[in-house]
Each structure stands twice: as structure tokens, then as C-alpha cells.
Amino acid sequence: MGLINDARSGVVWTFLQQFSVQVINFVVQIVLARILMPSDFGLVAMISIFVAVGQSLSDSGMSTSLVRNKSNGIRDYGTVFITNLGISLVIYLGVYVIAPTVAEFYEQPILTDLLRLYGVVFVISAFSAVQVAKFTKELKFKIQFAYQLPSTIIGAVVGIVLAYNDFGVWSIVWLNIVQNLAFAVILWTFYKWKPQLVFDRKIFAYHFDFGYKLTISSLINTVYLNLYRIIIGKQFSATNVGYFTQADSLRLFPINQLSAVLNKVTFPLFATISDDQNKLRQAYVSAMRIVLSFSAAMMLILILIAEPIFAVVFGDKWLPSVPYFQILCVASVFLPIGTYNLNILKVKGRSDLFLRVEIIKKFIGISALVIAIPFGIEAIVWSLCLTNVFFAYLNGFFSGKLIDYSLFDQIKSSFHIIGLAVVPAIICYYFDVGTLNTIELSGLSKAATIIGLYVVIYLPLIYVLNKRLFKDIKLILKR
């Protein structure tokens, strides 16, 4: 029962961590979006690929290997810490050198200094990566929550103050730097455990052998996801990148919070039962059923209330983001399927298969992107959406073989859950078109009405047509 109790506690504290930290960040983004211009967000989005690639390379997948490993000693943590720090310094030097080339590519001179400053995050993050891996491995999310919350608040205050004082795009960069720096300083000041400066070649080889494949997979995925921002930024403008980035960030916010809470707990939990086929499959199916039921409902509601939400929350200047947002919400419905299937590959130690799957997916995705470019931004967004839906089940094809859960069974189960979520969405849509449009309501009142109607229809529908799912959800909420 100890493992189950740890997992339950982990869910609670991970939820508090995710909810508080991400809500603060989300509120800050709203405040910044109302102060700054879409082009400011677009400029940061243009260099986001280099920041994301740098962070992936700095870690080399070795932190994930620490979480997966059955038992870690001082030499494991020390070796990974020294490796991460050394690589992060090399990566920052490389980014510093290529910054002028990036600015020339986009024809935005400001990107040189912007990228050189933002790149400092690589080195700062290396000072906290091992501690975070240790927290995750030991399911000590309460401690991580206690350290991360104040650093998030400090960064948020700095970002907002700078934005109000006309620092423009620089306020976004400094917000991220200060958050990471504050977290690292708090960890090293108040957390008694610290990685030792020891390096073991054999241990390095063990973790690197697992991690480098994940790193390559992560790099492929990072480049692919940011490729859309690169194409839009090069072919169109920083403002268009800003619209796309805001839409992408908003649609990912709720689904990432839900997935991260269970994902952060279930990955180490899955790792402990990876040798028991039946338990692993049952745990996977149960987690997937619950997450998918919430994700489908959330995304469909957001599609219905997208326009009033953008107008009220971000302001009318962000309304061009709405069509992109609605399209991307469709992809987010299926996001948990792909994430959990990839986790199965990780806990089974199949980083080689993980890499192979990522290469296949990105070849398909880039082909779809190239075909979509001549047809404009909306076609590009649709290509991202449809390929992501396909990728979710492609992941399932490979992971399903490892836990004896066929792709057909996955499709059947997921479409049944998604289908239940679609029914109230259709009813709410026609109620909106036929009734709400004839009544003078504020944006928030209209959104609240649709949300309320959806919930009133959805919950009884689950109870009648999928009582097992209803019981699982009820049990989770009760606990």
C-alpha cells in the first residue's frame, strides 16, 4: 500500500504544484498580452526553437534515465549533474555564436541580443535538473512545490513590472530567466541534499546510452513543433507568429496541466511495475480513460467559447488567433493518447523504438507541412492538427505491442469516450446559434452558460453510457 499512498499523495501535491505555478504563469501571460503587442510574443517565439533545443541537449535525456533507474547512488546523481552542466555551457557558447545568423535569417536585428540573453537559461537549468529528477523519482512533489512556487511568483512580479515600464519583449525574456534563477538559488540554499562533484565513466555510459536516444527524439520533436513558428515567421510576420503562438499556448494550457499532474506521478509509478504486464496495462488503461474523458470535454468546451474568451481575457487585438486556437483544440483532445503511449516505451526501456517512432512521425509531419505552406497559415495549422491526431495512434501501435493492448482496442475505447464528449458539444453549439445569439449577453455570461449546459448534459451521459468511467472519475475526485 506504500506505493499507492505515495502515488495518491503525489497526485495531490503535483496538482497543487501544477495548478498554482501554471495558473500564476497563465495570469501573467494574460497581463502581458494586454500590455504588449502580438509582435513581441512573435519575436520570442522565433527564437523558442533554439531555447528548446538547447535545453534538450543540455539534459541529454539523462535526468529521465535517473527517474527510470531502479536505484540511484551518489555517483549517479553526481555524474549526471556534471554532464548536464558541462554540456549546457558548450550549448550556450554555440547559441551565442549563431545568434547574429538567426537575426539575419528572420531579418530582425533585435534577435541577436534577445537570443544571447535568453540562452543563459540553459546553464541555470542545469543547476536544478538533477534535484527535480530526484524529487520525481522519490515522488516528493510536496518539497518541489514548496521551492517552485516562490520562484514562480518572483519571476512573475519581475516580468509584469518590466512590461509596465515599457521593456516590451525583454520583459518576457527576463521573466523566464528570473524564474529559473530563483528556483535554482532556492534549491541550493534551502534543500539539504546536493549533488556531489563525482564522475563515473561507467555510470555515464549507462545513463547516456538510454538518454541520448530520448534526446535525439526530443530534438526531432522540438524542431518539428517549432518548425511551424519558423515557417510562419519567415513567410509572414512576427505578428502572425504571435497569433499562432498565443493560440497554441492557450490550447495547451489546460490539457498540459491535466496530463502533467498524472504523467509526473504515473511515469515513476509505471516504472515500478514495468515488469508486470497485467498491472502495467491496467494502470495505463485506467489513467488513459480518466485523462481522455477530461481532455475531450475541456477542449470541446474551449472550441465553443473561444471567441468570447479571447475577447474578454486577451483583448480584441488577439481575435485573429481564434480560428487557429479552435483547430488546435481538436489536436489537444488526442494529446494524452500520444503522451501515455510514449511513456510505455520509456518505462519498458525501449528508447531505441522511441527514437524510431519519432523519426517516422516527423518525416510524415514535415511532408504534410510542406504541402500546406502554399495554402496559407490556416492550412499550416490544419496540417499540425491532423498529423498530431494520427501520431497519437501511431504511438499506440508500437506501445500496444509491449503491453498486449492492440491498436484496435485503443481506438475503440478512445472513440467511445470522445464520442460521449461530442454529443453535449453539438447540443451546446445549436443552442448557442439558435438561442444565445438572440439574447444580449456579455462574453463571460455566454461562456458560463455554455459551460454549465455542457456539464449538465455530459455527466449524466457518462453515468448512463459508461458507468465504469463515471465510477473512476468519482473515485479520483473523492480521493
| pLDDT tens profile 262-301 | 666 666 666 666 666 777 777 777 777 777 888 889 899 9
- Comparing CA positions, the residue from 46, 104, 81 lying closest to residue 197 is 81
pLDDT at 60: 66
One-letter amino acid at 166 equals D
Tell me: do 242 and 220 sit in the same domain.
Answer: no
Q: Which helix (H) or strand (E) holds 194?
A: none
Residues in the chain where the model's pLDDT stays below 50: 1-7, 10
Which of 235, 259, 288 is the last residue in one of the domains?
235
Tell me: do 281 and 414 sit in the same domain.
Answer: yes
Tell me: do 194 and 275 sit in the same domain.
Answer: no
CB burial class (10 A; 0-12, 13-18, 19+) of residue 434?
A: exposed
What pTM was computed for the model?
A: 0.71
pLDDT at 266: 62
Tell me: do 75 and 223 sit in the same domain.
Answer: yes
pLDDT at 135: 74
The answer to whether the Cα torsion of 240, 437, 294, 149 is positive or negative is: positive
Rounded distance, CA 411 to CA 427, Å?
A: 24
Tell me: do 248 and 230 sit in the same domain.
Answer: no
Q: Which three cell numbers stand for residue 317?
A: 487585438
Tell me: do 348 and 231 sit in the same domain.
Answer: no
- Comparing CA positions, the residue from 409, 386, 387 lying closest to residue 399 is 409
Q: What is the pLDDT of residues 157-190, one digit of tens each?
A: 999 999 999 899 999 999 999 999 999 999 888 8
Which of 235, 250, 278 is the last residue in one of the domains?
235
3-class DSSP assignment, residue 165: coil
3-class DSSP assignment, residue 61: coil
pLDDT at 272: 65
Q: Which three cell numbers stand for residue 313?
A: 481575457
- Comparing CA positions, the residue from 145, 137, 121, 131 lying closest to residue 56 is 121
Tell me: do 164 and 275 sit in the same domain.
Answer: no
Write out the residue range of the structural domain in which residue 271 sits: 237-479
pLDDT at 23: 78
Tell me: do 88 and 125 sit in the same domain.
Answer: yes
Q: Which three cell numbers stand for residue 95?
A: 547559441
Tell me: do 261 and 366 sit in the same domain.
Answer: yes
Which of 235, 266, 288 is the last residue in one of the domains?
235
Structural domain total, the chain = 2
Rounded distance, CA 255 to CA 333, Å?
A: 8
Tell me: do 228 and 308 sit in the same domain.
Answer: no
Tell me: do 90 and 186 sit in the same domain.
Answer: yes
CA triple 466-472-477, angle to 5 deg: 125
Tell me: do 216 and 254 sit in the same domain.
Answer: no
